[in-house]
């Protein structure tokens, strides 16, 4: 049996900030040498701390995917935008990203219809295309500390 059938999806609490931070850090380590350089990966989390995620976790903006009580992925959305979606590399390709995406889309579309944006990592664009998102432009991750190499992203959009 695929272990993804045992995954539980729940809304975050303030205590999930550590898990979100570490899942993100672990997930991006797999994105070098393509599509991101090792220099970009090594500096990805510079200037980022666990507490950056505390409020968003506390106000339940984030969905946590949990296997045997261990967080293996998360998704965050606000009306009109999917802000983050990460699945640990050890658990990728088992449908967990899709289950998180369904929940994030519900949060992004409180009225059931409308435009949803995603600032996608270069590797994730094919995943979002499966959900009907189209590339509308290229950009970089905002609010990086000065002097750090830029993180290229693809701006995507879908109208539901």
Ligand X SMILES: CC(C)(COP(=O)(O)OP(=O)(O)OC[C@H]1O[C@@H](n2cnc3c(N)ncnc32)[C@H](O)[C@@H]1OP(=O)(O)O)[C@@H](O)C(=O)NCCC(=O)NCCS
Using CB under 6 A as the criterion, which residues of the chain lie in contact with ligand X when the complex forms?
A: 27, 85-87, 92-98, 120-121, 123-124, 126-127, 130
Of 73 and 147, nearer to ligand X (C-beta) is 73
Of 17 and 44, nearer to ligand X (C-beta) is 44
Of 17 and 96, nearer to ligand X (C-beta) is 96
Residues 6+ apart with CB under 8 A from 10: 63, 64, 66
Min dist CB 54 to ligand X, Å, is 21
> CA 60 from chain center: how many Å?
15
Min dist CB 122 to ligand X, Å, is 8
What is the Rg, in whole angstroms, of the alpha carbon atoms belonging to the chain?
15
Min dist CB 27 to ligand X, Å, is 5
Residue closest to 78 by CA, chosen among 48, 114, 44: 114
Q: Are 132 and 158 in contact (CB under 8 A)?
A: yes
């Amino acid at each position: 049996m695929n272990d993804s059938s045992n995954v539980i999806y729940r809304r975050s609490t303030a205590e999930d900030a550590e898990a979100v931070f570490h899942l993100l850090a672990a997930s991006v380590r797999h994105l070098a040498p393509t599509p991101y350089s090792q220099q970009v990966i090594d500096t990805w989390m510079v200037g980022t701390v666990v507490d950056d995620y505390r409020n968003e976790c506390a106000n339940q903006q984030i969905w946590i995917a949990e296997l045997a009580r261990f967080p293996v992925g998360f998704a965050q959305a606000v009306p009109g935008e999917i802000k983050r979606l990460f699945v640990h590399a050890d658990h990728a390709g088992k449908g967990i990203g899709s289950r998180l995406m369904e929940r994030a889309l519900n949060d992004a579309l409180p009225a059931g219809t409308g435009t949803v944006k995603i600032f996608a990592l270069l590797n994730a664009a094919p995943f979002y295309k499966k959900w009907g998102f189209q590339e509308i432009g290229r950009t970089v991750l905002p609010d990086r500390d000065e002097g750090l190499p830029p993180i290229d992203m693809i701006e995507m959009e879908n109208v539901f």
